[in-house]
């Protein structure tokens, strides 16, 4: 190889490794741990106390002592998220180097392309950023493939060490060891020389010895939970998702279909090229692609176990090598001199299709750390947190224990006992996550949803004697959100807006509501210093024997006016100076001269309530403003003004320079978000309106489809859906579209754009 080619090869390898380091280590400790990572961290802690013989015999039914040893080694960096994932990230980078070494047998071009494809592979990046053993398994698999293809002198010992290391890494490695056994047997039977035959026979014998030991090390492996999903149907959708998994996404996102097909075609061409050149040599790369995949899927299907990409992850090593050979062959057809440049260009373009997913999917983890911080911030001494599932209890407890003075957490799967605790008067936070539609999870729907996220189906509810989260626990952030949702400069209340009516009111009766005492209270959120006008449409209860009705209005205990009401519907206005209003909840009291029971005045009446006056609507406007006629019932959120999660590198459809600030702030309020905190982030581009708007769908699984659809339209478009929209979107949900997807479709509409952009 000429000097410049060596330099070019070194530069390409260094570039691939640099990209691999960036994708695997950038903000590695940013996302919080999720359940499996937390369990791994807890078992790592307990592993340190295990006797030596348990490190040989195994002490966990799923993962092996080698994995826990590597996790303990990274404890030198602490016990946080970065330290927990550091080993996996390091193994991920090292795997890129080993795959490059393995692919060099097929030329420098194949080696460079393999390294580039693996460095940016969303599947490999994802599992290189998790505190689990799959990155280590990938490294060991790459090492075995390299040694089997190279057949280095005295390398049998290396193979034996790698196979034993797999045994002590994870139970999932059994599929790889079984694949090595079959590949070695086939290679031994077809070898040209006695030396090669004996070498592969020794490898097969080693694999045959190691394979049964998985039953010893992982003998106590528990049966699957009956609540887990079953193995999916192997149909076109499943196979399509599988192809995408090996090329452009780790989480099955429906993107870049052409790139996924291209990668599959490259791999098929690479396999054909290898088989035609030397079918004996092709046994290792082709076999170590097909067999780990086929054996894993067959085992999952046999035991009707749920499918996850981690079970087929080892096949990725052979897949990228085959694809690299295929790319090299195709580009070579265009000219041998241009092969290297064209092959690298194709590899870069192909890898770029998965770049966004490689940058975003590892961050799609529910932020249990923020959840624990938020619960602790809102909780008061004596509060209790009830977790509906073990999944939730384990995840939340891990981070609550890192909070100062956290509330008490109890796993509570029993509805009757949970309801008894709630009726005992103790303020309680109800937490649920996971995919089991339990009775406890359904019971929690009866209480205000304070926080939610579609990841892990997370919901946090608040329960107390009144279960009024906003009044009892709302902070200025929630109060600003609600005030803005009502109208930053004024609003008109319908009589069925229950959350604002306090003592002295009857139930709504069509378009009006009676005040049924001499004093009726209204509590409304307002923000900012401003003189305001209180307007009402009112009809006094009247009888010829009664004196005229007098209405006196006060704000926060200070009288702002009194009027004698005419015996008809009339509109009355009262001016309330700015000094009377406070930021947050304000009490507006309506005091009457009298309240009489109709049946006492007319025996024919069946109304036994003491009636004072009937109200059609009540408006509270900034001075000089006049809110519109009573609007449709608005969705006024009762939730924490908190965003969970970090959206990275999304492509927005909105030009923030065209935002109508007042309208966007009103939308944020309807979403339950604090406009003071969130709008500046939208304005500077650190947060995108598309992502924020989809929160309209968060935590809405308590609603039926039609109710959710109405809710989403009221929040996002301030109107209900029309007949065509309702029919179309309900059909989509019936066919499996998620509610986040439905919210996304609403956000894409022209009506939504008109809601948020200046004319």
pLDDT digits (tens, 9 = 90+) for 79-117: 999 999 999 999 999 999 999 999 999 999 999 999 999
For residue 226, the model assigns a pLDDT of 59
| pLDDT tens digits, 598-620 | 988 888 888 889 999 999 999 99
Instruction: Give, in order, the Cα–Cα distances in Å from 274 to each of 100, 261, 378, 707.
Output: 17, 20, 63, 58
CB contact set of 186 (below 8 Å; sequence gap of 6+): 283, 287
Burial category of 587 from C-beta neighbours within 10 Å (exposed 0-12, middle 13-18, buried 19 and up): middle
Q: Is the pLDDT of residue 648 over 60?
A: no
The one-character DSSP state at 230 is P
Q: Is the pLDDT of residue 632 over 50?
A: no
Residue 513 pairs in a beta bridge with 508, 615
For residue 81, the model assigns a pLDDT of 97
Distance (Å, rounded) from C-alpha 336 to C-alpha 266?
18
Enclosing H/E stretch for 442: helix 439-443
Count of Cβ atoms closer than 10 Å to residue 319 Cβ = 30
Q: Is the pLDDT of residue 123 over 50?
A: yes
| pLDDT tens digits, 558-583 | 999 999 999 999 999 999 999 999 99
- DSSP E strands, 264-402: 384-387
Distance (Å, rounded) from C-alpha 558 to C-alpha 576?
9
Nearest Cα to 395, choosing from 439, 432, 441? 432
Instruction: Give, in order, the Cα–Cα distances in Å from 335 to each of 111, 112, 273, 341.
Output: 19, 18, 17, 11
What would you report as the CA-atom Rg of the chain, rounded to the nearest whole angstrom? 33
Residue 266 pairs in a beta bridge with none
| pLDDT tens digits, 487-535 | 889 999 888 888 889 999 999 998 899 999 999 999 999 999 899 999 9
Helix (H, G, I), strand (E, B) or coil at 161: helix
For residue 636, the model assigns a pLDDT of 59
Distance (Å, rounded) from C-alpha 688 to C-alpha 647?
8
Tokens encoding 708: 């959710």
Of residues 339 and 362, more confidence is placed in: 362
Residue 192 pairs in a beta bridge with none
CB contact set of 206 (below 8 Å; sequence gap of 6+): 156, 159, 160, 163
Distance (Å, rounded) from C-alpha 182 to C-alpha 175?
11
Burial category of 308 from C-beta neighbours within 10 Å (exposed 0-12, middle 13-18, buried 19 and up): exposed
For residue 545, the model assigns a pLDDT of 87
How far is C-alpha 569 from the geometric centre of its chain's CA atoms? Answer: 52
Helices 81-103 and 108-120 sit at what angle, rounded to 10 degrees?
Answer: 160
Specify whether the CB–CB gap between 370 and 350 falls below 8 A: no
Its CATH class, for the domain covering 490-622, is mainly beta
Residue 508 pairs in a beta bridge with 513
Specify whether the CB–CB gap between 471 and 518 falls below 8 A: no
Nearest Cα to 441, choosing from 391, 401, 399, 406? 391
For residue 466, the model assigns a pLDDT of 85
Tokens encoding 5: 């080619």
Helices 705-717 and 739-747 sit at what angle, rounded to 10 degrees?
Answer: 30
Distance (Å, rounded) from C-alpha 561 to C-alpha 590?
10
For residue 138, the model assigns a pLDDT of 98
Residue 758 phi/psi, 5-degree rounding, is: -70, 145
pLDDT tier for residue 19 given thresholds of 50, 70 and 90: very high
Distance (Å, rounded) from C-alpha 143 to C-alpha 273?
23
Count of Cβ atoms closer than 10 Å to residue 295 Cβ = 21
**In this prediction, what percent of the chain has a pLDDT beyond 90?**
72
Specify whether the CB–CB gap between 70 and 87 falls below 8 A: yes
Tokens encoding 87: 């080993």
Specify whether the CB–CB gap between 108 and 5 falls below 8 A: yes
Tokens encoding 248: 């452009």
User: Which pairing describes strands 408-411 and 384-387: parallel, antiparallel, or unpaired?
Assistant: parallel
Q: Is the pLDDT of residue 638 over 80?
A: no
For residue 222, the model assigns a pLDDT of 53
User: Which pairing describes strands 384-387 and 428-432: parallel, antiparallel, or unpaired?
Assistant: parallel
| pLDDT tens digits, 210-233 | 999 999 999 765 555 556 778 889
Q: Is the pLDDT of residue 118 over 80?
A: yes
The one-character DSSP state at 493 is E
Domain ranges of the chain: 3-221+235-363, 368-471, 490-622, 656-756
Specify whether the CB–CB gap between 715 and 635 falls below 8 A: yes
Count of Cβ atoms closer than 10 Å to residue 17 Cβ = 17
The one-character DSSP state at 505 is E
Average pLDDT, the chain: 91
For residue 314, the model assigns a pLDDT of 97
Tokens encoding 229: 């999903």
pLDDT tier for residue 135 given thresholds of 50, 70 and 90: very high
How far is C-alpha 176 from the geometric centre of its chain's CA atoms? Answer: 31
Q: Is the pLDDT of residue 338 over 90?
A: no
User: What's the whole-number mean pLDDT along residues 419-432?
Assistant: 90
**In this prediction, what percent of the chain has a pLDDT beyond 70?**
95
For residue 220, the model assigns a pLDDT of 62
Nearest Cα to 622, choosing from 475, 467, 488, 425? 488
Q: Is the pLDDT of residue 587 over 50?
A: yes
Distance (Å, rounded) from C-alpha 368 to C-alpha 459?
12
Specify whether the CB–CB gap between 471 and 446 falls below 8 A: no
Instruction: Give, in order, the Cα–Cα distances in Å from 220 to each of 58, 63, 175.
Output: 10, 11, 18
Tokens encoding 522: 């209204």
User: Which pairing describes strands 490-493 and 584-592: parallel, antiparallel, or unpaired?
Assistant: unpaired
Q: What is the 3-state secondary structure (H, E, C) of 640-657?
A: CCCCCCCCCCCCCCCCHH
Tokens encoding 598: 């109709």
Degrees, nearest 5: CA angle 656-658-660: 100
Could you identify the residue written with the tokens 């006695």?
194
């Amino acid at each position: 190889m000429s000097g410049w080619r060596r330099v070019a090869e070194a530069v390409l390898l260094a570039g691939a490794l640099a990209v691999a380091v960036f994708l695997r280590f950038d903000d590695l400790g940013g996302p919080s741990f999720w359940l499996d990572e937390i369990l791994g961290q807890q078992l790592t802690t307990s592993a340190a106390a295990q006797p030596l013989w348990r490190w040989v015999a195994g002490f966990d039914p799923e993962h092996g002592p080698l994995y826990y040893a590597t996790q303990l080694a990274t404890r030198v960096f602490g016990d946080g998220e970065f330290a927990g994932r550091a080993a996996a990230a390091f193994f991920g980078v090292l795997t890129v180097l080993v795959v490059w070494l393995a692919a060099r047998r097929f030329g420098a071009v194949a080696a460079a392309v393999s390294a580039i494809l693996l460095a940016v592979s969303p599947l490999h990046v994802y599992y290189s950023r998790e505190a689990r053993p799959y990155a280590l398994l990938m490294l060991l698999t790459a090492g075995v493939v390299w040694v089997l293809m190279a057949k280095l002198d005295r390398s049998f010992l290396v193979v034996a060490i790698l196979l034993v290391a797999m045994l002590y890494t994870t139970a999932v490695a059994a599929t790889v060891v079984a694949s090595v056994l079959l590949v070695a047997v086939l290679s031994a039977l077809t070898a040209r020389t006695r030396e090669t035959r004996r070498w592969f026979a020794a490898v097969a014998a080693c694999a045959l010895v190691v394979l049964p030991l998985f039953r010893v090390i992982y003998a106590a492996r528990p049966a699957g939970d009956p609540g887990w999903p079953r193995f999916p149907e192997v149909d076109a959708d499943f196979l399509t998702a599988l192809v995408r998994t090996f090329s452009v996404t780790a989480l099955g996102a429906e993107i870049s279909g052409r790139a996924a097909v291209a990668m599959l075609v490259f791999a098929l061409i690479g396999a054909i090229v290898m088989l035609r050149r030397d079918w004996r040599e092709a046994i290792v790369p082709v076999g170590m692609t097909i067999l780990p995949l086929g054996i894993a899927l067959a085992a999952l299907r046999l035991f009707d176990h749920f499918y996850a990409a981690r079970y087929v992850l080892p096949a990725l090593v052979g897949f990228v090598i085959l694809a690299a050979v295929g790319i090299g062959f195709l580009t070579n057809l265009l000219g041998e001199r241009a092969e290297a440049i064209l092959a690298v260009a194709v590899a870069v373009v192909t890898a770029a299709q998965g770049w966004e997913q490689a940058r975003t999917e590892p961050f799609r983890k529910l932020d249990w750390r923020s959840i624990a911080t938020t619960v602790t911030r809102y909780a008061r001494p004596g509060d209790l947190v009830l977790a509906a599932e073990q999944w939730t209890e384990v995840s939340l407890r891990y981070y609550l224990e890192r909070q100062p003075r956290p509330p008490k957490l109890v796993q509570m799967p029993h509805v009757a006992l949970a309801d008894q605790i709630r009726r005992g008067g103790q303020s309680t936070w109800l937490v649920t996550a996971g995919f089991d539609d339990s009775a406890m999870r359904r019971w929690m729907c009866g209480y205000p949803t304070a926080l939610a996220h579609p990841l892990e189906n997370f919901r946090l509810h608040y329960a107390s004697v009144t279960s009024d989260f906003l009044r009892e626990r709302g902070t200025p952030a929630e109060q600003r959100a609600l005030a803005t949702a009502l109208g930053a400069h004024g609003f008109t209340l319908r009589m069925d807006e229950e959350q604002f009516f306090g003592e002295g009111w009857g139930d709504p009766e069509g378009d009006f509501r009676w005040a049924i005492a001499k004093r009726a209270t209204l509590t409304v959120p307002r923000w900012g210093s401003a003189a305001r006008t209180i307007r009402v449409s009112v009809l006094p209860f009247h009888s010829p024997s009664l004196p005229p009705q007098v209405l006196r209005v006060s704000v926060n205990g200070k009288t702002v006016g009194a009027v004698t009401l005419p015996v008809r519907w009339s509109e009355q206005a009262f001016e309330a100076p700015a000094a009377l209003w406070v930021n947050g909840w304000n009490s507006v009291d309506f005091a009457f001269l009298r309240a009489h029971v109709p049946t006492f005045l007319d025996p024919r009446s069946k109304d036994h309530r003491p009636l004072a006056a009937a109200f059609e609507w009540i408006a509270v406007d900034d001075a000089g403003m006049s809110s519109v006629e009573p609007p449709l019932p608005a969705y006024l959120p009762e939730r924490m003004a908190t965003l969970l999660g970090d959206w990275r590198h999304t492509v927005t459809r909105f030009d923030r320079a065209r935002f109508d600030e007042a309208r966007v702030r009103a939308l944020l309020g309807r979403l339950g978000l604090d406009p003071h905190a969130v709008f500046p982030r939208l304005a500077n581009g650190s947060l995108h309106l598309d992502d924020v708007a989809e929160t309209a769908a968060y935590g809405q699984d308590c609603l039926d489809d039609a109710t959710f659809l109405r809710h989403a339209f009221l929040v996002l478009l301030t109107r209900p859906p029309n007949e065509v929209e309702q029919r179309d979107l309900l059909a989509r949900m019936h066919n499996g579209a998620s509610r986040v997807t439905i919210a996304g479709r609403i956000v894409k509409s022209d009506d939504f754009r008109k809601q948020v952009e200046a004319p």
